[in-house]
Amino acid sequence: MNPEIEFREGLEELTTCYRQIIPLLGEDPEREGLQKTPLRVAKAMQVLTRGYTQDPHKVLTDALFAEKYNQMVIVKDIDIFSLCEHHMLPFYGKCHVAYIPNGFITGLSKIARVVDIYSHRLQVQERLTQQIKDCIQETLHPLGVMVVIEAKHMCMQMRGVEKQNAITTTSDFSGAFNQAKTRQEFMNLLRGESKRI
């Protein structure tokens, strides 16, 4: 789906819902600046949730290559933008993914695509972290996977406790990363690469 030109079924109904919300917030939906807002928001929400129409497992298998390399592969600083399922407000940050191949590797961009697909759904950061790890583990069958996400949540910044600088970090891992030494190697490589780039 090209998010700029193609929209899913239900766009009209979604637009109607947003048109009904505007007066409930105390605004006039017929005011010039708001007349096209319901459609714009409906389109935006379909783009922000486009991950429901995409298969992350297929993304990985579309670029699967036999390779004897069995050391750590890290794709770091993958930008994430998602919607918190509790308030439908954005959370955003960086995702770092490592895996140790077991006979097969995938295209590096495909790791970022998996992150993108799962983050373009209504989410909580904890589940997002786990889904990315599980998808890579189940599809590539590597010796291990580790995922770390660092994010700021607008539901904490704009409302509630209103803490502007709070960062939430989550991690999940499998296989070889169950060993503290391997996890530490991943974290050391993240810090080391950050200093060199």
Catalytic residue among 85, 126, 138, 193: 85
Residue 63 CA from chain centroid, whole number: 20
Catalytic residue among 96, 135, 153, 185: 153
Catalytic residue among 123, 125, 131, 137: 125
Catalytic residue among 54, 87, 130, 157: 87
Catalytic residue among 17, 130, 155, 157: 155
Catalytic residue among 46, 84, 96, 137: 84
- Report in angstroms the alpha-carbon separations of 86 from 91, 123, 154, 163: 11, 8, 11, 17
The question of whether 84 is a catalytic residue gets the answer yes
The question of whether 95 is a catalytic residue gets the answer no
In this structure, the dihedral spanned by the alpha carbons of residues 165, 118, 141 and 185, taken in order and rounded to 10 degrees, is -10
The question of whether 141 is a catalytic residue gets the answer no
Token look-up 């919300």 returns 21
The question of whether 123 is a catalytic residue gets the answer no
The SS3 call for residue 180 is: helix
The question of whether 155 is a catalytic residue gets the answer yes
Mutual orientation of helices 125-140 and 108-119 as an angle, nearest 10°?
A: 140
Catalytic residue among 67, 86, 126, 179: 86
What residues are annotated to the active site? 84-87, 125, 153, 155
